[in-house]
Amino acid sequence: MRSIKKILTAAMCSTLLVSSIGLTGCGSKSTATNADGGKVTVNMFQFKVETAKELEEAAKTYCSKNDNVKINVETVGGGNDYGAALRAKIQSGEEPTLFNIGGPQDVKDWKTRLVDLSGESWVKNAVDGVLDGVTMDNKIYGTPYSIEGYGFVYNKAIFKDAGIDVSKINNYDTLEKAVKTLDEKIKSGALKEKYPKLEAVFELPAKETWVTGLHTSNVPLGQEFKSATDAYNAKKVDFKYKDGFKALIDLQANYSKNSESKSNLNAVDYATQVGQGLAVERVAMIQQGNWIYNEVKKVDEKVAENLDILPMPVKGGKEDSISIGVPMYWAVNNKASKEEQKVAKDFLKWLYTSEKGKDFVVNKLFFIPPFKGYDNFKPKDSLGAAVKRYVDNKKTTPWVFMGYPTGWGMESVGKQIQKYLSGEIKWEDVINRSKAKWESDRK
């Protein structure tokens, strides 16, 4: 974590998921050719929709310097299950050269297709800890995308105008008090003149089971397990902080537009929450991370610069920290030709170690770099700065959801939460069914 702190001083920003598919190709000046002398084509299948265009631009820039190289970028994420899409892609026989894996469980699932990257030059510059999730049998099977942090992203101006002193929010009880105060101000019309669209404190996108089933569940489980590897090795999950988990879901649901009809939350998606919610000041706070900065900026730059992050406090546990981790890793497919593998690795090296690549990473992709050597690239966004602050103050908990059983977070926990919100089951059912599924998956 000490090394992560150092890197964060140099560069902030980042990403997430949504859904869409894009494709691009490129080619130009200098090395790689296939054995038959033809152009080397690298197909990339990746999950970050919100930075897809910028990644395509990076690929084109790389190709402009490398003759006989073509890189196709295809993107699937968010409302679409990337893991399922990747499996379908490979089963169809259209195997990408570059694809994404999430951590120890994905390493196990895809190990027969993963190139060992231990010998690559950039590995030695990785920030301490970021390679742990893809290290198995002393081999490194992935290159980290970025470092990200999440919690409750809130509009500082709205909180200030509601008379709320954010510095006094340091646990669940003080957060709940602030939420109730803001809710009263909204309903009374006290903020209507300055924020005419403001209708609720929160927007909860329960349709996006990665939000609830992965990220929300990680907040309590990130205190039950020490790391993704710890979660991966666990035969059962206890849900030690199940009441705190429930409180976080209930708080967002009870102070949303759909508080009286919570089943409607199951139709709320990422776009409604971010671009049509926080960005237009229709809501004051959402559960997301520093990756939304660019999305909000595209809608309203002033709002984007007014954002900060509050912890998602777990009652009975650690209440003053945000979750920090690596969203995904780049993996190189060993089923691709040697020439294709070589280009894929060279592209990753260029992206994360060249001056031009670093500029893309920090200033266009808005990533917090997972590698050292970014001292000349300064942070430019409010949420990246917020993540840095928590890291500096050692107020962080780990991402462990990459160690969940395959599909468990989204397909089990997330869908059980949808049933809870619609009134079909009780919270105890969410917990008991999720525990049982974890144990059966680990057998």
Summarised one tens digit per residue, pLDDT across range 400-415 is: 999 999 999 999 999 9
Contact 66, 32 (CB under 8 A): yes
- pLDDT, tens digit, 9 for 90 and up, residues 47-95: 988 889 999 999 999 999 998 899 999 999 766 788 889 999 999 999 9
How far apart (Å, rounded) are the C-alpha atoms in residues 51 and 53? 6
- pLDDT, tens digit, 9 for 90 and up, residues 158-209: 999 999 999 999 999 999 999 999 999 999 999 999 999 999 999 999 999 9
35: pLDDT strictly greater than 70 = no
Q: How confident is the model at residue 262 (pLDDT cuts 50, 70, 90)?
A: very high
- pLDDT, tens digit, 9 for 90 and up, residues 84-124: 899 999 999 999 999 999 999 999 999 999 999 999 999 99
Instruction: List, by residue range, all CATH 3.40.190.10 domains of the chain.
Output: 2-147+326-396, 150-324+405-442
15: pLDDT strictly greater than 60 = no
CATH superfamily of 150-324+405-442: Periplasmic binding protein-like II (3.40.190.10)
13: pLDDT strictly greater than 90 = no
> Mean per-residue pLDDT for 258-280?
97
Options 3.40.190.10, 3.30.70.360, 3.30.365.10, 3.40.50.300; CATH for 2-147+326-396 is 3.40.190.10
Averaged pLDDT score across all residues of the chain: 91
- Give the pLDDT of residue 24: 54
Give the type of residue at 18.
Answer: V
> Mean per-residue pLDDT for 24-37?
49
> Mean per-residue pLDDT for 353-370?
92
How far apart (Å, rounded) are the C-alpha atoms in residues 196 and 131? 46
- Give the pLDDT of residue 388: 84
> Mean per-residue pLDDT for 141-165?
97
Give the Å distances, CA to CA, from 102 to 60, 99, 229: 26, 10, 12
High-pLDDT (> 70) share of the chain, %: 91
Give the type of residue at 368.
Answer: I
Region label for 398, one of left (φ > 0), alpha (ψ between -120 and 50) or beta (otherwise):
beta
Q: How confident is the model at residue 247 (pLDDT cuts 50, 70, 90)?
A: very high
45: number of CA atoms within 13 Å, CB side?
20
Contact 14, 293 (CB under 8 A): yes
Phi then psi for 115, rounded to 5 degrees? -80, 135
**Which of 411, 410, 419, 413 is closest to 433 using CA atoms?**
413
- Give the pLDDT of residue 391: 86
20-29, 308-317, 366-375: segment of lowest average pLDDT: 20-29
> Mean per-residue pLDDT for 290-306?
94
